[in-house]
Amino acid sequence: MASAGMDTSEKQLSLDTVVQQIDEISSLPHIAVRVLSVANDPNSGAADLRDLLETDASLSARVLRVVNSSAYALRTKITNLQQSIAYLGLKQVRNLAMTASVSELFAQNDSFGTYSRSALWRHLVSVGICSRMIAEHLGFANSEDVFLAGLLHDIGIILEDQSVHEEFSRVIETLEEGKTLSSTEMQHIGFDHTQLGEKVGELWGFPEGVDVTVRYHHASANYRGPHIATLQCVEVANLLCTLKGITSVGMKLVRPSTATLKKLSLSKQDLKIISDKLDEEIEANAALFQV
């Protein structure tokens, strides 16, 4: 186990070892990796995504079930993936497929202390929904990319739970108000969930904006690059969900960033409008939360 006093090279070696172990067991469902690959390929199109999803009958059924849920209020039932993609668009169907496949990581609901996998999954989906709401409120054109970044922002937590479970359990046991999750992880593991999530995201082919968000969603001030708006939307969504009690590890550890709110030009009234509507959006998207 890494100690709090080790130097940077030792921490990096420890992190790299864990990343290698995760890569060897490929804990993200293979279909999810392929969905990302198709979605990231500029030469791929709707037919490629449809053909891929059709190789997994269970995943296809879940996508269709969500498309026909109350979230979309369709007048006519959609019966196949081609119709789904034509109606919703490539990115939204990609997000539905990713949500359904990533949920498999949470199928076994372990819980201890304040933490449970089911609550973490609820947090991830809720932040994804809220991130998209913020992007749409601000008139951003890439709201579906922002949703995906929100959905995956805390992927490092479930990876810690699965790959360094003993050390992660110690993190949960020693968490306390006034301390951050990252500082407690550094103390007991030697790296935090943002570092692990970023490294594994690179291996799995996460889009750059998603990987940036995974790494900097607690510290957007440390990032300088083209994906700052996506990152800031997720940072604010993470805060709003946490304040509503939809937390990642069962404690309200996220701290507000007035600088981020200012840069996004979000007023207190804007935040209230989004927060008030969030419950309704979560209820409408109930099918996304199923594991």
pLDDT in tens, 181-214: 999 999 999 999 999 999 999 999 999 999 999 9
Q: Residue 116 — φ and ψ, nearest 5°?
A: -145, 145
- pLDDT for 74 equals 86
Close Cβ partners of 57 (under 8 Å, ≥ 6 residues apart): none
- pLDDT for 171 equals 97
Close Cβ partners of 109 (under 8 Å, ≥ 6 residues apart): 116, 117, 118, 291
Q: In 217-264, where does DSSP find H-type helix?
A: 228-243, 258-263
All domains of the chain in start order, with CATH: 8-289 (1.10.3210.10)
Average pLDDT over residues 26-48: 87
Going by pLDDT thresholds of 50, 70 and 90, the confidence category of residue 14 is confident
Average pLDDT over residues 55-84: 91
Going by pLDDT thresholds of 50, 70 and 90, the confidence category of residue 5 is very low
Closest Cα to residue 88, out of 99, 107, 72, 101? 72
- What pTM was estimated for this model as a whole? 0.92
Q: Residue 267 — φ and ψ, nearest 5°?
A: -90, 170
Instruction: Answer yes or no: is pLDDT of 1 > 60.
Output: no
